Chain A
Amino acid sequence: MNQTHLPQTPTQRQRLLALTSRERLEEGWAELALPVDHRCVRGPETGMAMVRGRMGGTGNAFNLGEMTLSRASVVLDDGAPLGHGWVAGRDHRHAELIALVDACAHRPEWAERIDAELMGPLARELDAAREQDSRTAAATRVDFFTMVRGE
């Protein structure tokens, strides 16, 4: 049950695009073929995020270690609001594409197409891939049998 036809919020789009491979995003972006030029106003650049855990899973935070993180901010040639993108790893183009989609989604008519033609399929693909992972894990679930003692 996916609400992918509904308009998505910027953070919902950001999440989905960060969980999509750059290759797939590049492909989907090309298919949208939005007539747009952009330039980067920040980055793309790579740094790190300090990942925090919680003691016992629910207690106070502690610093687990860092992960690489890339980010970009872009502006469209018509000077519409900035678009931002963040993604784990060091792929500058991935961050830039996320920012680009974010910037384009500020225009209502493009947002509709982005959600229907890009986000919808990506959400369904992510769900399908996760379903496969889950079914693979479920195949290793242990069924216990109570041993019947000899009568």
Chain B
Amino acid sequence: MYVAVKGGEQAIANAHRWLADRRRGDRDRDELSVAQLADQMNLAVDRVMAEASLFDPELAALALKQASGDLVEAVFLLRAYRTTLPRLAETLPLDTGAIRLERRVSATYKDVPGGQVLGPTYDYTHRLLDFLQLADGEVPAPARTEQALEACPPILDQLDAEGLIERETDDGAAPYDITRDPPDFPVDRATRLQMLARGDEGYLLALSYSTQRGYGRNHPFAGEIRIGMLEVEIAVEECDAPVCIGEIAVSECQMINQFAGSRELAPQFTRGYGLAFGRNERKTMAMALVDRALRAEELGEPVASPAQQPEFVLAHADSVEAAGFVSHLKLPHYVDFQSELELLRRLRRAHAQPPTDDAEGGGQATDDGSKEPAPAAPQASRETEQVAP
């Protein structure tokens, strides 16, 4: 337990003033603008939006600037801001088949209607540092063809048409919303996907990697990755038809995984799904792998690995919660520590005394009987407050 302390106002004010100075850096250089960050650090901005669970590039760029580039801090700032806004609407479910594609690749078919479209990718770059970036070189405009892109229908539709993959259909169920009610394990797939979509990318990447290395293997293929812009519609009282409120950038990954079937149902490929705000390809691939791993129980697979355990995976995926609880260890725990120190001293005194006939309980000696002598288990419930919002 940590306790409130008073004082230190001047020190705190000066610390924050120094932080602002450090953030600004050398005054002889131009200050970074939020617009520059939104534009030129767009992948960092996209990651902040995805993990903060709020699409607003300008605010995400502001958070990034304010956090001096600390992504987890920026996610925290933007997540905190979202709590100040009212919910005005729910959108119609996104039709990812209608994405205005800038990238679309499949690892399962060479020739697909519309073709493989690379988009602005880091794939196939040589990962050699480009020293021209130090020299403010001119950047040519992108190449364009005479013809626009052909239609690129979702690739898994082909497998679906042959009945070779699980069919995803809408039964009209209203999705659970973890921002309204805290998740209550076990949770359904809609809840899992909401939690994964805001999960920390590094964490999901590590977990998805663990499935590839054998901890919950599910034989994935990247069936299709789609990245681009998608119009968003909301239903409003004032109009009969849904209204379009603008476009957002999204990334989607459809993983095709090894078979499931039953006496009634012939074997079929199974699916893992990833979807995220912005250009977040790696995140959506990791999300799709973890989504599939978390379906182990549903698909009758043994649940033996960390990535297959929903409570373990999901309860630790949120960087705001994780950073909050880890960071709170920095706050004053003076009273708590004093009591542990007192306990330790008592145990050591008892240890130094020669054993007597009636106190043999494996070091369980108590001299006043008022306290549990054994150190408390290191569990969260010992804490009376959580720092995370």
**Are A52 and B144 also in contact (CB < 8 A) when A61-B190, A87-B246, A141-B117 are?**
no
A52 to B173, CA, bound (A): 12
Q: Please tell me if B29 contacts chain A, counting CB pairs below 8 Å.
A: no
**Which of chain A's residues has its CB closest to B191's CB?**
A62
Question: What's the A-B contact tally at a CB cutoff of 8 Å?
Answer: 244
Q: Give the contacts of B43-78 with A (CB-CB under 8 A).
A: 49-50, 53-56, 58-59
- Complex partner residue of A50 from B56, B91, B116, B120, CB under 8 angstroms: B91
- Knowing A64-B94, A88-B232, the reply to whether A48 touches B248 (Cβ < 8 A) is no
| Contact of B236 with A by CB under 8 A | yes
Best-surrounded residue of B149, B168, B191 (most CB of chain A within 10 A): B149
CA distance A49 to B243 in the complex (A): 13
Flag if B239 contacts A11 (CB, 8 Å): yes
- How many chain B residues touch the partner (CB < 8 A)? 89
Q: 1/0 contact trace for B79-109 toward A, CB 8 Å? A: 0001001111111111111001111000000
State whether the Cβ of A107 lies closer than 8 Å to any Cβ in chain B.
Answer: no
Q: 1/0 per position for A39-54, CB-CB distance to B under 8 A? A: 0000000111111111
A148 to B186, CA, bound (A): 55
Given contacts A57-B168, A65-B197, A69-B88, contact A135 B55 (CB under 8 A): no
| B110 cross-chain contacts in A, Cβ below 8 A | 144
In the docked arrangement, what's the CA distance between A84 and B243, Å?
Answer: 11
The stretch that binds B, out of A25-33, A110-118, A125-133, is A125-133
- CB of B143 within 8 A of CB of A144, answer no
Question: B115 within 8 Å of A by Cβ?
Answer: yes
Contact B193 A66 (CB under 8 A): no
CB pair A136 B143 closer than 8 Å: yes
Which of B91, B100, B193 has the most C-beta atoms of chain A within 10 angstroms of its own C-beta? B91
The residue that B102 contacts in the complex, of A60, A65, A67, A137, with Cβ under 8 A, is A137
Complex: how many Å from CA A133 to CA B228?
A: 10
Cβ-based interface call for B285 (8 A) = no
Report the Cα distance A87→B96, complex, angstroms. 20
In the complex, the answer to whether A141 meets B116 with C-beta atoms within 8 Å is yes
| CB closest residue in chain B, given A46 | B85
Q: Is there a chain B Cβ closer than 8 Å to A142's Cβ?
A: yes
Q: Are A134 and B149 in contact (CB under 8 A)?
A: yes
Neighbouring B residues of A7 by C-beta, 8 Å: none
Q: Which residues of B contact A66 (CB under 8 A)?
A: 53-55, 82, 85, 87, 179
Question: What 0/1 readout, one digit per residue, does chain A (51-89) give for beta carbons within 8 Å of chain B?
Answer: 111111111111111111101010000000010101111
List B contacts of A9 (CB < 8 A): 241
State the CA gap A67–B232 with chains docked (Å).
Answer: 10
CB closest residue in chain B, given A86: B245
A134 lies within 8 A of B148 (CB): yes
Complex contacts, A144 vs chain B, CB 8 Å: 110-111, 116
Instruction: Give the CA-CA distance A134 to B156 in the complex, in Å.
Output: 22
- The interface on chain A, measured as residues whose beta carbon lies within 8 A of the other chain's beta carbons, has a size of 55
In the complex, are the beta carbons of B273 and A48 less than 8 A apart?
no
Closest to A73 in B: B238
Q: Is A14 within 8 A of B197, CB to CB? A: no
Decide: A56 and B197 in contact? CB cutoff 8 A: no
Check B54–A142 contact: CB distance below 8 A. Answer: no
B149 touches A51 (CB 8 A): no
Residue contact B100 to A61, C-beta cutoff 8 Å:
no
The answer to the question of B301 belonging to the interface, with a C-beta cut-off of 8 Å to chain A, is: no
Cβ A48 vs Cβ B54 within 8 A: yes
Measured between beta carbons, the chain B residues less than 8 angstroms from A142 are 115-118
CA–CA, A49 to B252, complex, Å?
A: 20
Contact with A along B330-365 (1 / 0, CB 8 A): 000000000000000000000000000000000000
Interface flags for B252-268 (1: CB within 8 Å of A; 0: not) read 10100000000000000
Q: Is the CB of B144 within 8 A of A132?
A: yes
Given A47-B88, A48-B88, A52-B175; A57-B193 close (CB under 8 Å): no
A86 touches B234 (CB 8 A): yes
Q: Which of A65, A140, A143 contacts B50 (CB 8 A)?
A: A65
B190, A55: Cβ atoms under 8 Å? yes
Tell me which of B54, B58, B100, B142 contacts A134 (CB under 8 A). B100
- Chosen A-B contacts, 26 in total, with CB atoms closer than 8 Å, are A48-B86, A48-B87, A51-B277, A52-B92, A53-B96, A54-B168, A57-B96, A60-B172, A60-B173, A61-B170, A62-B194, A64-B193, A65-B55, A66-B82, A68-B54, A69-B234, A71-B88, A87-B245, A89-B58, A130-B100, A136-B144, A139-B144, A140-B120, A140-B121, A141-B118, A142-B118
| 3 closest cross-chain pairs (CB), A and B | A88-B246, A59-B168, A56-B168
